[in-house]
Amino acid sequence: MQELIKLDFVDLAIAVGLMAIAIGLSAWEKLGLELNLALATGRTILQLLVLGYILDFILALDNAWAVLAILTIMLTITAIVARNRISQKIPYVLPLVWGAILISTALTVLYTNFLIIQPERWYEPQYIIPLAGIVLGNATNAAAIAGDRLVSTINSSHLEIETHLSLGATPEQAVSQYRKDAIRAGLIPTLNQMILIGMVAIPGITTGQLLAGVKPLDAVSYEILIMFMVAFANLLTTVLVTKGLCRQFFNSAAQLVR
């Protein structure tokens, strides 16, 4: 199979032409997206180039502490993003989300590393960084969707919740259905992706491996593994986040906090 055709800065500059055309189309249609597209283009270039240099340094360094440091930074950034999409008014949302994503990602990656891939070293950067990055990104979206859904539903359902409490329900029972609905909402994108994967489009990970010269069956094998990792991590993340958020809405006397 042909080796990967490498792209230089000239190739990337030509690729920017696609975004220039998109900006021009937005202006032609008067969509008002020109600034957003331009900023997104700039951020994409800057962030991915920085990521490339950082990963190149980490892979060359080949040190367990360096791997843990970059993973911690990635985890913190994703937790902040999820917190901002859920709520900045509710106390302790950031440590709650940070801990939930940490637990789900760690369990998923460690299970995969020790039982399935089994690299020579547990911290092998070639495997643990990209796999953890995929899980973190998806867990962040799941946490944000489920958390935002739960918070908005509870905020708009105070009367119904207080009615349940007055009839003797515990706080967990009063918001049980809201929490289940929020968890389902957080899992919808993942389930849709799993249902349609391989039928509508070739997934990104498989595409990348095919471009790198990996055999198709080997590429889809990793895609299957990744999808199962994402599904498990997303479910665990939403379960932990929604459980923690529910507790923030009630005081020690089991009263709803407004």
Instruction: Name the residue among 5, 150, 129 with its Cα closest to residue 55.
Output: 129
Q: Which two tokens stand for residue 16?
A: 């920017």
- pLDDT per residue as tens digits for the range 116-156: 988 888 888 888 998 999 999 999 999 999 999 999 998 88
Q: For the ranges 2-11, 82-91, 140-149, 221-230, which has the lowest average pLDDT?
A: 2-11
Q: Are 73 and 228 in contact (CB under 8 A)?
A: no
> What gap in Å lies between CA 255 and CA 34, rounded to an integer?
48
Which pTM value belongs to this model? 0.84
User: Nearest 5 degrees, angle CA 51-CA 55-CA 59?
Assistant: 175
Q: What is the rounded (10 degree) CA torsion for 156, 157, 158, 160? A: 160
Q: DSSP class of residue 256?
A: B
Q: What is the pLDDT of residues 217-249, one digit of tens each?
A: 877 888 889 889 999 999 999 999 999 998 888
CB neighbour list of residue 77: distance below 8 Å, 6 or more residues apart: none
DSSP 8-class letter at 153: H
3 phi and psi angles, rounded to 5 deg:
-70, 160
- 93 exposed, middle or buried (CB, 10 Å; 0-12, 13-18, 19+)? buried
